[in-house]
Amino acid sequence: MASSASPFWNIRKVVVFWVMLPLLGVVETQRWWRSGPASRAGPSPATPDPSPHRRHLGGAPAGALLVRAVTQRTGAGQDRRERRTGACRGTVSVRVYISPPWQSWYGAWPQEGRAARHRLREPGGSGVPHRRWESVGTAGYRASAMSQDATSHELIGREHPAALLHAEISRALGSHGGLVLVTGEAGIGKTTLVTSAAREARRQGALVVGGACWDSGNAPGYWPWVQVIRALRRVAEPPEWAQAEESAGGSLAALLGEAPGSETPDGFRLYDAVTSALVALSQRRPVVIVIEDLHVADPASLRLLEFAAQQTWFERLLLIATYRDAEVEPVDHPLRDLLAPLVARATTISLTGLDLAGVRALMSRTAGHEPPPDLAAEVHLRTGGNPFFVEQTARLWRSGGSVGAVAPGVRDALLRRLSLLPRPVSELLPAAAVLGNEFHRQVLAAVVAAPVAHVDRLLELAVVARLVVAKGGGVFAFAHDLVRETLYDALDDPRDLHGAVVAALDGSPGLAGRLLPSDLARHARLAGDRVDPERAIDLTLAASRDARGRLAGEEELGHLRRAYDLSAAAGPRRRAMMALDLGRELAHLGDRDQARQVLDEAAAIARDLDDPELPARVALTLHAHYGLDQARDLLKAAHARLVGGQVPDERLALDLILHLVAQARRGGDDEVLTFSLWAQHDIIWGPGTAGERVALTGELIGVARRTNDPELEHFATALRWVAMIEQGDPRYLDHFHDYAARSRRDGRSHLIMTADIDAGILAALAGRFAEAESLLPQVRAMTHHEHFTAMIDHHVWAMMWLQGRVTEQQRVLHDLRGREHPCLAVLEALTALQAGDLDLALRHFADGEPRHRMARPLWLRFQAQIAAATRDPELCAQARAALEPHRGRWAVSLFGWDISGPYDLWLAMVDAAEGRWDAAVEGFTAARRSADLMQARPWSLLARAHLADALLTRDAPGDASTAGDLLGEVRAEATELGMHHLPGP
């Protein structure tokens, strides 16, 4: 019987594939195997070529040369290959196509690598290696019918790698094999993938065996091959094994250590013996060999694998091997050079982490129920999609543990990978772990006090080890968060490194932009006593300001709380100041109980300090948020200590503020001056104080520019043009445009947001309602603060009122009832008046004026409207007395959220209600003139409509004609602005 490695067959292969192929272009080989009597009837009929995958052939184009070489069974002279296999009969068909030389696959091999030789791609397809092999008869396997259904339920997120591996097995079952390398980090699923594929190959009739390399210096040479040969002897049929032993020439026993006194053959003879045995077995049925963990193989085993892969390419033998490529990529790894030739020859399937959907599916299968989306996203982020890490984390979750913990198996796997790193790299990465999941190389170099170039070289080694990835721009990140956590948890005391981060940034101000303020604050906090408490508080407050600039309200409050906690280690005055900051923010957010608790602590500290200014600040803060009744005692004590003398209780707060302002101006204390000027601005807010507030905001702008505080300048400028509107000063628009442009240049979200809010308010003031409404979605999207939400709703209500849209007003009021609003009853009363419900408006009026001073102008407007609607002399007299001091000014409430038109308009309505038509005409005319000057078209229309009505009622000479002209203007402009409720001619 001829040897499976007979010279005749090997020479024929060389001639057909290595001589004809370069000359003719493309060779496509198909074997049809038959058994039984049908095969003896002669050659099988020509079978149409099933492969649609020749891009440049297009089937059988004109001019193509088709050669069919048929060797068939002819009695005693049957084909040697057929006689050698014994169990198989049939035909071998070789089809050779001429192709243009520039499209020759052979010519492309040097560029694409040997692993590309067998690849055939679908025209216009995905580029996945693919070959269809037609099978005929009942040989026990069908190469073209490789099924993936059996594995689809096991492999999550591995559809593409599984398809690649199945394509390789399909080719080995139907034609010839090759070498496949499956790579990836520990736990990535290499074994799962190849086990699934091997089971499918065995199901389809292949002989499948495997071995694994052993990570031990005591492992015998050729250990994975010893396992493979033992397994082959165990599972092969006796005739098959006998043929294999004969082909190996008796060398297998020496390899297995079963030939006493004999020496293991030298390298080449052993390689040839093992390869010949594998080829002999593959003549009877396809063979699939799986070898795991090449990264810990002995060098001789790798050389044998390379030899076998090179010598058996055209046999039905598929070699599959797995290894952790990241562990052998360092230039000094002893197996790196031995694996390189294998990689060049093989089809490589690299496994990476599962995507989010895969993580969710794997967690569901492991835990028995589906995780919430946010939990799955957290696990995906922390594990990088590594299936082993995901499974371990899911088991923790199933047992009630936290997904934030590192499972022992995961920690062990990562510590092993870290132990393989060069010592300088393993000493650098803990500092990187302290910096966070992402870090900049310059910051890391500053923390470890090493040159950037040196750190860069060490990071390159970490990247090669797949523990760190380069993000570009000098930024690196850990491959997944578990690597960072494992490194961090291994630190005995991380406070030193956290302190080193703060020191590095303090010593290199140019690196400040490389680290977020919140990250720097975190390092200061976690450094404990390695960082001065005052410095830690300053960094935390900077993070709070940064969060406010990004409209991250919860984060801002969290930083304030942490600054307050840190202040326990600072002096009592700093503790009191932090309590004031936190208390103000809590009160602003509506948490009045906790705010009062914190402010009471500040008051207690202030009483014990020899600092008269601090008790005054605490008292004024309480007064601003809780009113006179709850701040009275503190105000009296602070006034007696700082100012002295007797004043009415209502004057206590303002007296203290004026004293603080004067003292700060004299002492040049800009921090105290800013606090006291704002306090003065807010406490005097109301009708008749606009001139004073213009001066105060002007001084605040000066302080802001002096101290380089753009945020202070922004808000002072905003309230300056608000006060100018109240004065009826048309220059407010110039100030607004400058303010809006500066906000855009600054770029911080909260400044842009407030500028957009103000732009909407002024668009409505000008009658550009569509523009004002178009700004609402982006403004609402930028803030979820309850205060802003209520005020935005108020702004919408004001637009609806100007347009007479009662139904929309009522809808807004319904929403506002669930929120905190300083004068909701006034809005409901004004809507009721517009809807004609005087009784409801009177009931609201009976409830009295809101307690908030900032709502007083809106109340004065309501007072005028209810008096005009009832024509009650007493109410009219009261309204006139309240409004008269403000003639020539505008009613502006809620720090600018509400602009209720000129006071002249409301006074004229009271005059008209009392039949004082000359006064009414004069008042409406003044209101129109002011509205036109302020470019407030809706208010000009309202003034003109009422003026026309007053003229028609007065009916003096020329009044009717003037009224007709006015009504014509009103009708045209009202239609344009959507104010359809106004009267027409």
- pLDDT for 104 equals 28
pLDDT at 552 over 80: yes
| Whether the Cβ atoms of residue 182 and residue 294 lie closer than 8 Å to each other | no
pLDDT at 897 over 90: yes
Counting every residue, how long is the chain?
985
pLDDT at 566 over 50: yes
Q: Percent of the chain, pLDDT > 70?
A: 82
Bridge partners, residue 469, by sequence: 477
Q: Which fold has domain 143-350?
A: Rossmann fold (3.40.50)
Lowest mean pLDDT among 107-121, 141-155, 797-811, 939-953: 107-121
pLDDT at 23 over 60: no
SS (H, E, C) 677-719: HHHHHHHCCCCCCHHHHHHHHHHHHHHHHHHCCHHHHHHHHHH
- pLDDT for 109 equals 28
Lowest mean pLDDT among 340-344, 565-569, 573-577, 661-665: 340-344
pLDDT at 14 over 50: no
Residue 807 pLDDT class (50, 70, 90 cuts): very high
What mean pLDDT do residues 307-320 have?
A: 92
pLDDT at 266 over 80: no
Residue with the larger pLDDT of the pair 763 and 147: 763
Dihedrals phi, psi of 373, to nearest 5 degrees: -55, -40
Residue 574 pLDDT class (50, 70, 90 cuts): very high
Q: Name the amino acid, one letter, at 980.
A: H
pLDDT at 961 over 70: yes
Residue with the larger pLDDT of the pair 13 and 195: 195
pLDDT at 102 over 80: no
Q: Is 42 exposed, middle or buried (0-12, 13-18, 19+ CB in 10 A)?
A: exposed
* Maximum pairwise Cα distance, the chain: 139
pLDDT at 695 over 90: yes
| Whether the Cβ atoms of residue 926 and residue 888 lie closer than 8 Å to each other | yes
Q: Percent of the chain, pLDDT > 90?
A: 57
Strand ranges of the sheet holding 287-292, from the earlier edge strand across to the other edge = 207-212, 287-292, 317-323, 178-183, 347-350
> Mind listing the pLDDT tens digit for each residue in 203-255?
999 999 999 988 766 667 888 999 999 999 999 999 999 898 888 887 888 78
Q: Name the amino acid, one letter, at 517.
A: P
For the chain, give every domain's residue range.
7-116, 143-350, 356-398, 684-784, 821-977
Secondary structure of residue 320 in the 3-state scheme:
strand
| Whether the Cβ atoms of residue 616 and residue 660 lie closer than 8 Å to each other | yes
| Whether the Cβ atoms of residue 688 and residue 885 lie closer than 8 Å to each other | yes
Q: Which fold has domain 684-784?
A: 1.25.40
Inter-residue long-range contacts of 305-311, CB under 8 Å, 24+ positions, other chains counted: 305/179, 305/342, 306/338, 306/341, 306/342, 306/345, 307/271, 307/272, 307/275, 308/271, 308/274, 308/275, 308/278, 309/178, 309/179, 309/342, 309/345, 309/346, 310/345, 311/272, 311/275, 311/279
Residue 858 pLDDT class (50, 70, 90 cuts): very high
Residue 505 pLDDT class (50, 70, 90 cuts): very high
pLDDT at 4 over 60: no
Whole-number Cα distances in Å, 419 to 183, 464, 467:
20, 15, 12
Residue with the larger pLDDT of the pair 880 and 377: 880
> Are 684-784 and 821-977 equal in CATH topology?
yes
Lowest mean pLDDT among 10-24, 611-625, 630-644: 10-24
DSSP code string of 725-754: HHHT-TTHHHHHHHHHHHHHHH--HHHHHH
CATH top-level class of 821-977:
mainly alpha
> Mind listing the pLDDT tens digit for each residue in 642-689?
998 899 999 999 999 999 999 999 999 999 999 999 999 999 999 999
Q: What six digits make up the tokens of 800?
A: 């609806």
Bridge partners, residue 477, by sequence: 438, 469
Distance CA 170, CA 318 (A): 10
What mean pLDDT do residues 313-331 have?
A: 89
Distance CA 42, CA 859 (A): 109
Bridge partners, residue 32, by sequence: 91
- pLDDT for 542 equals 94
Dihedrals phi, psi of 27, to nearest 5 degrees: -115, 130
> Mind listing the pLDDT tens digit for each residue in 403-429?
666 777 777 878 888 888 899 999 999
